[in-house]
Structure 1
Amino acid sequence: MFRLRQFYLNHLKRKMFNKIVVLYSAVMIVLFAIAATLVYQYQTQRILREQTDANLKSAHVLNIYLSLQYEGIQNIFQQIYGDASLSDDLIYFLNHEYESYLKYRLDLYAKTGEQRLRSFNPLLKNYLEQESSAKSVSIYSYPNNFYMHISRTNQQLNNDSGSKNKWETWFARREQDSWDTMPQNEASPSSDGSSPRSYSYSREIKDPWTLERVGMMNVEFDARQISSWLESRASVKGRILVLNAQQTVIYDSEDVLYGQTYPYQLEHEKAGDWVQLDEPSKVNILNVGNAGLSVVGIVSQSMIKESTKSLRTGMILVTLVFMVTSFAITFTIVRKFSKKVQRIIRSMNRIGEGDLSTRIQMSGEDELQQISRRFNDMGDRLEQYIDKMYTSEIKQKNAELVALQSQINPHFLYNTLESIRMKAYFVGAKEVGQMIYSLSVMFKSMVKKSTIVTIEEEIDMCSVYLDLFRIRYEGRLETEIEMDPEIQNYSIIKLLIQPIVENYIVHGFRPLEDNNKISVRALGAGDRIVIIVSDNGTGIPEEKLTQIRQTLDKILQPPDKGYRSIGLINVHERIVMNYGNDYGVSINSTEGAGTEVRMEIPMLRKGETT
């Protein structure tokens, strides 16, 4: 019990696939056992039916054989009694001494002058020639106590006058039953040392004129001829017996009860049914016409069991092979799925330990492959989410650091810039004073903690920034700012437009030309706000423009800080991180003709989120 419990705890309790294998194996064992039992029973019934049919066929064959023997004997008597000369010859032979019979034959020959007189002796010899199973024919004389024994090779006349009592005993027994065995140890009148496996048919001879009993004819048959007949004409199955009217066995295919009285009572009504003999047996009983013989076919239960022994062994082996094969196939398939599940569990453990790069490569299109695909998708989304949150957090920290640095004593900086501006106005440098004022306004806006401003505030910030450069370049820069009044109170991330404008000042402005122009337009388009920054600057070469677009589409990795459009990419990433992949920056440019940057963000009130 302890070992079973340990086995359950170690191999079944927490192992689903082992439970499936055990349960499936148990079901298969039961099903195979039931199927094998049903097949075995069916085959046993089939074998029983085949052997019973074969036994019945053998009984029919033997019935025909004995019927032919009986008809052959009856034909002799019909010829004798149907022919007056033959009957007279035989009656005279039985009623007189043999010398008198010979004298009678000679006198008859001399009187009639016929060269061939009809006699019973040639008739009997001709019968022995035609009937291969007949060994001899004996004719007994009641009045004179002698008999003539005729075989195929010789003819013998015997006279045992001193054994009359024994003759009478033998005659009395044969009167009870015409058919009987010819045992070797019995000194019957017909015994000539023949094989004990013989049987005979006896019939009394009567004088056709007086109807007195004058003798008996006995025909002896070789019982071995029955076996030869059966083997040549039927496949003998079971046991075949031939019984006379007194239940004496005159033939036994197993050669056990020959000459004995059959110990069991057989009934025709139970033919074909199970009958209790030495053991339960199937019995077939056939009567041989009017001969007084019965052919009994017996198929014993032990014979059926012996016949099905190889079948039973084969069924057990086949069932075991099927069970082992089924278990092996099931175990292999379940083990394959178990390995897949174990792989999924290991991958989940690695994810739990922080290895977010773990992915499951699994073939097939089953449920486990779907789980693996969902697991990989979850890993990708989790990794992207963590990267996004990590990047946002780093940028937030950097922004906070910049804000902290910018807030170092801001009042001191404001006051200082205001003093410089007043000094510039005092000495008449109005443009310098205007630039200092614009710088002070920008500084105040940039050090504010809020990262979300209105469209109006962002546009104003951009306008102040452009004023600085417009004053600096003394008429060589023309600016144009346009804003749809309906969107001025919608929100936007701070410092989205200024880096794009700065990109133009740094990379697209032509300091030697007087017609530099940049325009900023903010428009409403459905549920979106579109901000377009266009200029007539130097433009971007085609190859560089392709790289910028691929970087915006995340086909290429983000460039290093020395890259000329790092501000543009930064703006795009900030829009995507805050508003989603449906929004961002697109760019069109022609080298020597200018650049247009288009920015799309959702139309949100301040405080709303996408």
Structure 2
Amino acid sequence: MNKIRRFYLNHLKRKMFNKIILLYSAIMMILFLIAAVMVYEYQVQRIIREETDANLKTAHVLSIYLNRQYENIQNTVQQIYGDAALSDDLVYFLNNRYESYLSHRLNLFSRPGEQRIRSFSSLLKSYLEQNPGATGVTIYSYPKDFYMQIRPVSQQLKYETGSKAEWESWFVRRKIYAWDTIHQDARFWDSADSAQAGVYSYTRELQDPWTLEKMGMMMVEFDTKQLSAWLSTRTPEIRGRILVMSSQGTVIYDSHGAGGYFGQTYPYRMELDNTGKWVELDEMSKVNVLSVGNAELSVVGIVSKSSIHDSTVRLRNSLVIGTLLFIAASFVITSTVMRKYSKKIQRIIRSMSRIGEGDLSIRIQMPGEDELQQISERVNDMCERLELYIDKMYTSEIRQKHAELVALQSQIHPHFLYNTLESIRMKAYSSGAKDVGQMIYSLSVMFRSMVKKDTVVTVQEEIELCSIYLDLFRIRYEGRLSVEIGTDGEIGNCRIIKLLIQPIVENYIVHGFRSLDSDNEISLHTVQDNDRIAITVADNGKGIPAERLKEINRMLSASPSPQSAGGSGSSIGLINVHERIRMNYGDEYGVAVCSQEGKGTTVRIEIPLLREGFM
């Protein structure tokens, strides 16, 4: 923990660029990791899709082959039933002992003028020769309890052995399930043949075409090795695992060969309904299931997660290495660039330290046109301005001292004027002219307020000054001026520049007051508007002509300049107040005028709400 703290204090706390490098590196690391994960997930999904598509293609090829086997069997049987001589030959074979069948064949052959008659056995041998995948055909006779095994190069007649019940049970099962593996039918094989593995069979019951009596059963054997050899010529690389299952769930072909499920009932056949989804078999896998025509067979393609994982190991390693290289390269490049800018910042800091020590002659030389170069220019400009300001303030300080001396010498004159006005007021009261005394008192209060040195007063003080000013004219124009003043008590103590409202009121008295009318009205209201103070002065005076009002608004919206206050007439006070507000509070504050000739004028002043202590 102490090492981490020392590292933070030495390399991060006061070094902004090291923080930027660390933050940037962390961000880039996160982004690279996210990108790598996204690429990895995309590639994994692509590999899964390719694996499942290849597996599905293999399953489709195998289903075509099995369907062809099934159709060839059905076509051979149909040839027997479709040819009267062949069907009679098969019926005679199944209903008689083999010696009688041979005598029957010799009698037919010995008839004068009789053509050589084909036998069902020759047709079945022809079928075996044309279908290399079929290894043999067995014909079983129900009436005579014997069976004949036909091979491409041999033919054997055998009689059943074992219990009758066992045979009948086998017949019942094979009538229901036509496809099965040959190890279930070992009774049809010699001791030498029974050692063979990887053979599956198809059975079909045989009937008399005339009486439809069931006479026996035909079983065709197939070698899975031949099936694998044929499949390898069509799909050289088998992706995943391929199973061929009968309707009862017995696996009659497993591409994994030894150690697979061949000859067993597949334990996960219920999960095969979730085609295209991840299902739990021996391990998590995706499955494709295809039906083989009318053959009651299913071809199942299985792609396991482990096989996909093997394909993604190299991808994952490449992404990890690539991501680390990108992060390292990003860190090196960022550090190099940041070090360049850090040197510039250090140059600015050293220069600022010298400026802080009082050396205003320093100038920062910074190449380029970036923000640091702009900062350097501003610092250089600041130094020049400070030098000029110091010179100016030095001269101003001398003048200020002189002005204070003059003010002290003339301080007697305002007191003489206050005393004189007070004497006149007392004389007026003693003579019974109370209104004249009141006017003199108001004038004295106004004069005291205006000659104060304070430039910032409270809103309440500014309103009182305007109230005293209007009292003078209410007394002068007795009965012809009505005054209404309303102030929000919460903003009475807020700060305001001195003499912002009085010039607006004075404008009304000078330019808007109708001295011959008795219904003159003026109202003054101050309210809080969010973070602003809104002061509204409204009257029913002469109003401002449209052209003059347009000129005033143009002057109010113009940028501040020394000449902007040089207007004439009613605009002088307005422009002066507006410019003082903008210079002290900013361009978003100021004065707005709304007037209609003959109906009066409304002036709205907006300033920021500043509590006592801000100015």
| TM-score for the superposition, normalised by structure 1 | 0.57
CA distance in 1, matches of 2:88, 2:12: 102
CA distance in 1, matches of 2:113, 2:318: 80
Paired amino acid for 2:186: A
Aligned to 2:200: 199
CA distance in 2, matches of 1:174, 1:329: 76
Aligned to 1:263: 267
Residue 239 of structure 1 contacts residue 299 of structure 1 at CA under 8 Å; is this kept in 2?
A: yes
CA distance in 1, matches of 2:292, 2:385: 97
Aligned pair in 2 of structure 1 residues 190, 291: CA closer, same or farther (>3 Å)? Answer: farther
CA distance in 1, matches of 2:315, 2:73: 47
Deviation at 1:186, TM superposition (A): 6.0
CA distance in 2, matches of 1:267, 1:337: 64
Match of 1:366 among 367, 370, 389: 370
Aligned pair in 2 of structure 1 residues 226, 332: CA closer, same or farther (>3 Å)? Answer: farther
Paired amino acid for 1:245: S
Residue by residue, what CA displacement relative to the aligned partner does 1:496-538 show, whole Å, maximum 9, x if unpaired?
xxxxxxxxxxxxxxxxxxxxxxxxxxxxxxxxxxxxxxxxxxx
Match of 1:245 among 244, 247, 266: 247
Count of residue pairs brought into register by the alignment = 387
Aligned to 2:299: 295
Deviation at 1:362, TM superposition (A): 5.3
Aligned pair in 2 of structure 1 residues 230, 342: CA closer, same or farther (>3 Å)? Answer: farther
CA distance in 1, matches of 2:141, 2:23: 88
CA distance in 2, matches of 1:200, 1:336: 81
CA distance in 1, matches of 2:292, 2:84: 30
Residue by residue, what CA displacement relative to the aligned partner does 1:206-249 show, whole Å, maximum 9, x if unpaired?
22223222221111111123333333333532222111111111
**Alignment partner of 1:56: what SS?**
helix
CA distance in 2, matches of 1:373, 1:366: 11
Aligned to 1:84: 84
CA distance in 2, matches of 1:263, 1:158: 36
Instruction: Say whether residues 1:325 and 2:329 are aligned partners.
Output: yes
CA distance in 2, matches of 1:346, 1:112: 131
**Alignment partner of 1:209: what SS?**
coil
Deviation at 1:166, TM superposition (A): 4.5
Deviation at 1:196, TM superposition (A): 1.0
Instruction: Say whether residues 1:187 and 2:186 are aligned partners.
Output: yes
Paired amino acid for 2:40: Y
CA distance in 1, matches of 2:195, 2:223: 9
Residue 289 of structure 2 contacts residue 299 of structure 2 at CA under 8 Å; is this kept in 1?
A: yes
CA distance in 1, matches of 2:372, 2:138: 96
Residue 134 of structure 2 contacts residue 221 of structure 2 at CA under 8 Å; is this kept in 1?
A: yes
Deviation at 1:320, TM superposition (A): 1.8
**Alignment partner of 1:187: what SS?**
helix
Deviation at 1:325, TM superposition (A): 1.7
CA distance in 1, matches of 2:26, 2:139: 78
Deviation at 1:355, TM superposition (A): 9.6
Residue 145 of structure 1 contacts residue 161 of structure 1 at CA under 8 Å; is this kept in 2?
A: no
Paired amino acid for 2:82: G
**Alignment partner of 1:63: what SS?**
helix
Residue 182 of structure 2 contacts residue 200 of structure 2 at CA under 8 Å; is this kept in 1?
A: yes
CA distance in 2, matches of 1:140, 1:98: 12
Residue by residue, what CA displacement relative to the aligned partner does 1:65-111 show, whole Å, maximum 9, x if unpaired?
11111001000110011111001111212222222222211110122
Paired amino acid for 2:227: I
Paired amino acid for 2:281: L
**Alignment partner of 1:188: what SS?**
helix
Instruction: Say whether residues 1:236 and 2:235 are aligned partners.
Output: no
Aligned to 1:66: 66
CA distance in 2, matches of 1:296, 1:112: 57
Residue 186 of structure 2 contacts residue 194 of structure 2 at CA under 8 Å; is this kept in 1?
A: no
Aligned to 1:214: 215
Aligned pair in 2 of structure 1 residues 161, 188: CA closer, same or farther (>3 Å)? Answer: closer
Give the stretch that moved more between structures: 29-38 or 151-160. Answer: 151-160
Aligned to 1:9: 9
**Alignment partner of 2:372: what SS?**
helix
Residue 138 of structure 1 contacts residue 190 of structure 1 at CA under 8 Å; is this kept in 2?
A: no
Residue by residue, what CA displacement relative to the aligned partner does 1:431-479 show, whole Å, maximum 9, x if unpaired?
xxxxxxxxxxxxxxxxxxxxxxxxxxxxxxxxxxxxxxxxxxxxxxxxx
Aligned to 2:113: 113
Aligned pair in 2 of structure 1 residues 128, 363: CA closer, same or farther (>3 Å)? Answer: farther
Aligned to 2:226: 225
CA distance in 2, matches of 1:237, 1:5: 56
CA distance in 1, matches of 2:152, 2:287: 38
Aligned to 1:283: 287
Residue by residue, what CA displacement relative to the aligned partner does 1:100-143 show, whole Å, maximum 9, x if unpaired?
22221111012253443111122111111211211111212223
**Alignment partner of 1:308: what SS?**
helix
Match of 2:338 among 327, 334, 338: 334
Aligned pair in 2 of structure 1 residues 268, 4: CA closer, same or farther (>3 Å)? Answer: closer
Residue 271 of structure 2 contacts residue 279 of structure 2 at CA under 8 Å; is this kept in 1?
A: no
Give the stretch that moved more between structures: 375-384 or 125-134. Answer: 375-384
Aligned to 1:37: 37
Aligned to 1:131: 131
Aligned to 1:522: none
CA distance in 2, matches of 1:269, 1:44: 24
Aligned to 2:173: 173
Residue 272 of structure 2 contacts residue 287 of structure 2 at CA under 8 Å; is this kept in 1?
A: no
Residue by residue, what CA displacement relative to the aligned partner does 1:157-196 show, whole Å, maximum 9, x if unpaired?
333456655443433332231100012x863214524631
Aligned pair in 2 of structure 1 residues 360, 115: CA closer, same or farther (>3 Å)? Answer: farther
Deviation at 1:278, TM superposition (A): 3.2
Larger radius of gyration: 1
CA distance in 2, matches of 1:327, 1:229: 57
Match of 1:273 among 246, 253, 277: 277
**Please, which runs of 5 or more residues in structure 1 have no aligned partner?**
389-610
**Alignment partner of 2:188: what SS?**
coil
Paired amino acid for 1:48: I
Deviation at 1:43, TM superposition (A): 2.3
Paired amino acid for 2:67: S
CA distance in 2, matches of 1:58, 1:46: 18
Aligned to 1:141: 141
Paired amino acid for 1:221: F
Residue 28 of structure 1 contacts residue 323 of structure 1 at CA under 8 Å; is this kept in 2?
A: yes
Aligned pair in 2 of structure 1 residues 227, 335: CA closer, same or farther (>3 Å)? Answer: farther
Residue 96 of structure 1 contacts residue 144 of structure 1 at CA under 8 Å; is this kept in 2?
A: yes
**Please, which runs of 5 or more residues in structure 2 have no aligned partner?**
392-615
Residue 146 of structure 1 contacts residue 161 of structure 1 at CA under 8 Å; is this kept in 2?
A: no
After superposition, residues 428-467 of structure 1 pair within 5 angstroms as none
Residue 167 of structure 1 contacts residue 189 of structure 1 at CA under 8 Å; is this kept in 2?
A: no
Paired amino acid for 1:133: G
Paired amino acid for 2:187: S
Aligned pair in 2 of structure 1 residues 350, 154: CA closer, same or farther (>3 Å)? Answer: farther
**Alignment partner of 1:266: what SS?**
helix
CA distance in 2, matches of 1:287, 1:267: 16
